[in-house]
Amino acid sequence: MTAEELFDLPDGHRYELVKGVLLTMSPSGYAHGRVTMKLSNLLTNYINANYLGIPLAAETGFKLERNPDTVLAPDFAFIRQDPAVGDSSGFLESSPDLAVEVISSTKSRRQAERKTAQWLSFGVQSVWVVSCQKKTIEIFSASGSRQVFKGSDELSDEDLLPGFRVRVAEIFN
């Protein structure tokens, strides 16, 4: 399948495309939706207030590879600059600077590890893996560093979002 065929699918299911293979995504549960919305709101407000770039809604598709096509969609994305797009109605043909993946089960943990490696291989600067079960946020950077934030830790990603700070516990409450 191609990215164009994926985009034109008539039903309302969630999908991703990896090397031309269509993957069906199951609906998110309550904890996943709540945490995603809370973190997305915090990030969007900060990004907009500081004119850092463009926050993108959950499930925005990024076309990362052609022939065969790969289209991934994080739970939240951020790009520093508006990309040059010919047809803005389709998938973005670039990588975000930040991809956030929210996980809520052991199964989704394995999928998040796979997607983290994919995102980084496609040039994403920072991938945040948010665990609803462990109430932690891991930041994987393109430089190879990994940080784990939990509880009263202040979540920050200075290189990408200078000055952004929030207690991790606030995201999960």
DSSP for the chain reads --HHHHHT--S--EEEEETTEEEEEPPP-HHHHHHHHHHHHHHHHHHHHTT--EEE-TT--EEEETTTTEEE--SEEEESS----S-TTS-BSS--SEEEEEE-SHHHHHHHHHHHHHHHHTT-SEEEEEETTTTEEEEEETTS-EEEEETTPEE--TTTSTT--EEHHHHH-
Per-residue tokens: 55: 């926050």
103 lies in some domain: yes
pLDDT of residue 95: 92
**High-pLDDT (> 70) share of the chain, %:** 92
Instruction: Average the pLDDT over 17-29 and give the result.
Output: 76
Nearest alpha carbon to residue 137 among 96, 170, 110: 170
Residue 105 lies in a domain: yes
Q: Is there a domain that residue 138 lies in? A: yes
In this structure, are residues 109 and 131 in contact, taking their beta carbons and an 8 Å threshold? yes
pLDDT over 70 (residue 43): yes
CA distance 92 to 124: 14
- For the chain, how many structural domains are there in total? 1
Higher pLDDT, residue 126 or 14: 126
Residue 151: pLDDT over 60: yes
103/122 Cα distance (integer angstroms): 21
Residue 123: give the domain boundaries: 29-58+72-172
Q: In this structure, is residue 142 part of a structural domain?
A: yes
Q: Answer whether residue 6 is part of any domain.
A: no
* Mean pLDDT taken over the chain: 87
- pLDDT recorded at residue 3: 84
> Is residue 160 assigned to a domain?
yes
Q: Per the domain annotation, does 54 fall within a domain?
A: yes
CATH number at residue 167: 3.90.1570.10
Q: Is residue 45 part of a domain?
A: yes
CB 76 within 8 A of CB 39: yes
pLDDT tens-digit series, residues 65-98 = 989 988 888 999 999 986 665 456 678 888 999 9
Q: How confident is the model at residue 18 (pLDDT cuts 50, 70, 90)?
A: confident
